[in-house]
Structure 1
Amino acid sequence: MRTTPPSTEEIDVWLAVLRAHGHLDRAESGCDGSWTVWRTPSSAPHTLHHPVLALDYIAAVLREVRVEAGDGAR
């Protein structure tokens, strides 16, 4: 369990890794500390207004990837 909130730099790195591995189509940082992400080129954008929300979204994507890879056991 985390004891500190994620930094904007940490979120930027996580989003870059997810893009590099093909799990996100696009991610854009906003000037107000938010992020807009697209899972596929034709998907609706998700706006993440806070680093904690962004980390929750990233965790959900990682859980999906893990299930798709057949690694449901922890």
Structure 2
Amino acid sequence: MKEIIASMAGTVLNVFVAKGNQVQLGQEVVMLESMKMEIPIESDIEGSVFDVKVNIGDFVNEGDVLIVLE
């Protein structure tokens, strides 16, 4: 299993993938809001979405797992 993690703390504004989706390198998977700025989280790996660990409105800390790929 491979994980996509939050690069900074913030609130989840949008989740662009769902379980079973294919994710490509560089694809935006989550949009965070931090200090009134929108921060796109891009995948640094490829794979199929095994689990989405966050929902819109959740607060995440830097290093939290957002998406698990297989």
Specify if TM > 0.5: no
Q: Which one scores higher on RCO, CA 8 angstroms, separation ≥ 6?
A: 2
Rg comparison, structure with higher value: 1
Q: What TM-score comes out, normalization by structure 2 length?
A: 0.28
More helix by share: 1
Q: What TM-score comes out, normalization by structure 1 length?
A: 0.27
More strand by share: 2
